[in-house]
Copies of this chain bind each other. A is one copy, B any other.
Amino acid sequence: MNYADHQLGIYLQGMFADQKPAITTDLAALEHAAATVLAPEALGYITPSAGSGATAAANRAAFDRWRIVPRMLRGSAQRDLSTTVLGTAMPAPVMIAPVGIQTLAHPDGELATARAAAALGLTYVHSTQSAHSFEQVAEASGDGARWYQLYWPTDPDVCVSFLERAKAGGYTTLVVTLDTTLLGYRPRDLDRGFLPFLHNVGIANYLTDPAFLAKLAKPVDEDPRAATLHWAQMFPNPGLSWADLPFLREHWDGPIVLKGICAVDDARLAADHGMDGIVVSNHGGRQVDGAAGSLDVLPGIAEAVGDRLTILFDSGVRTGSDVFKALALGAQAVLIGRPFLYGLALAGQAGVDHVLRCLLAELDLTLALSGYGTHRDLTPEALLPT
């Protein structure tokens, strides 16, 4: 597939149909555009990172420290961006990050995103904290590839039930988020006293779960507050340790990926514990203020465990050029979060589609213009540190 053609398509539509894109094509401007349509609570929940925002700034600064050195005359007329990650075939090394509560951005929420991803063949990662359930998302996703992201609850029954529902719903790989055993310190939400889950938004997987419901004294609609509080007791899980991982293997026979790895030693531990992959991530800066930029820790991790683990990446990715850099520094695929969410806010499924097409077009163009017929040839040599 030639993603770059999307650009010419826009120009031709401009010329022949006098039509402009309904949403900006400037991927770095999407946040600003989305801010004009999002409700204040939604904007406050989606956009900021933890504390003073230093980690989000570090994520961006890390990208600025690496510069692409394009190569010329390497015959890159055909690009092949396809790849296979942990058995999942992908037309491009780009995945939909497991963003929760997408109804904050748009009423269609996860369903719109899953449909857009499936239409493009991209893998959708379903968040435990979704506003739609495993089953609803699976139906929307249809034949599309999908993985499941676990926030590991303290109740093992619910955990096992989640894994079983994921399997039944065709989610093939398990992504375990480690960096959010407690919520980060988020002043904009705190200043509003606003946590969406406490309004029973974004806990659809729980409210449809037999194991969860079994622990409630009354049906949810009779005592919604009790359901909320039950969730609030089950979600925090800072006691998790490496010794808990065999429990997952016992209940999940597909690949397991640990998300939230920032330290080289943790990447090694993941390999030592038989994990299949990791996502190098600081949760888009939403958890620990003052943390290292995610891209700043990627090269060391790739060097240490690149031959033992599948390495995925997120946090701070905004453009196709960013994806190029993360791939060059050792990621096998990149998860996109806020950009698609801004597209969702602006135009639902069509907005997600627009953002993903633009990002893939820019990635494809960056590869072509930098002399790469496939992203699989990228190495750190493609970049210059500054």
Residues of A within 8 A of B (CB): 4, 7-8, 10-16, 18-21, 24-29, 51-52, 54, 58, 63-64, 66-78, 178-185, 187-195, 198-199, 225, 228, 232, 237-242, 244-245, 258, 260-263, 265-266, 269, 282, 287-293, 296-297, 318-322, 324-325, 361-362, 365-366, 368-370, 384, 386
Q: Enumerate chain B residues within 8 angstroms of A292, measured Cβ to Cβ.
A: 67-69, 384, 386
Q: Lowest 4 CB-CB distances: which A-B pairs, in order?
A: A14-B193, A77-B239, A26-B187, A290-B321
* In-complex Cβ contact of A240 among B73, B261, B322 (8 A): B73
Q: How far is the CA of A288 from the CA of B320 in the complex (A)?
A: 10
With A52-B321, A68-B291, A321-B289 already in contact, the answer to whether A21 and B193 are too (CB < 8 A) is yes
Name the B residues within 8 Å of A265 (CB-CB).
71
Which of B182, B195, B296, B368 is in CB contact (< 8 Å) with A365?
Answer: B182
B77 and A238 contact, CB distance less than 8 A: yes
Whose C-beta in chain B lies nearest to the C-beta of A63? B290
Q: Are B190 and A7 in contact (CB under 8 A)?
A: yes
- Which B residues lie within 8 Å of A366 (CB)? 185, 288-290
**A170 smallest CB distance to B (angstroms):** 28
Docked CA distance A260–B282 (Å): 36
- With contacts A11-B193, A72-B260, A238-B76 taken as known, whether A187 is within 8 angstroms of B291 at the C-beta atoms is no
15 pairs of residues in contact across A and B, judged by CB atoms under 8 Å: A8-B232, A10-B190, A14-B198, A27-B51, A51-B320, A52-B321, A58-B67, A67-B290, A70-B288, A71-B265, A72-B178, A179-B369, A289-B319, A289-B320, A289-B321
**Does B71 contact A290, Cβ atoms closer than 8 Å?**
no
Is B194 in contact with A291, judged by CB distance below 8 angstroms?
no
Q: A70-B282, A198-B12 are in contact. Are A290 and B263 (CB under 8 A)?
A: no
Residues of B within 8 A of A297 (CB): 69, 384
Contact B73 A64 (CB under 8 A): no
Q: Are A73 and B193 in contact (CB under 8 A)?
A: no
State the Cβ distance, A228 to closest chain B Cβ, in Å. Answer: 7
A368 contact set on B, CB distance < 8 A = 181-182, 238
The answer to whether B69 touches A263 (Cβ under 8 A) is yes
Q: Closest CB of chain B to A278's CB: distance in Å?
A: 10
Q: Within 8 Å CB of A52, what residues of B?
A: 26-28, 318-319, 321
Q: List, in ascending order, chain B residues with CB within 8 A of A28's CB.
A: 51-52
- Whole-angstrom distance between the Cβ of A60 and the nearest chain B Cβ: 10
* Distance of A188 Cα from B28 Cα, bound (Å): 12
| A136–B263 alpha-carbon span in the complex (Å) | 50
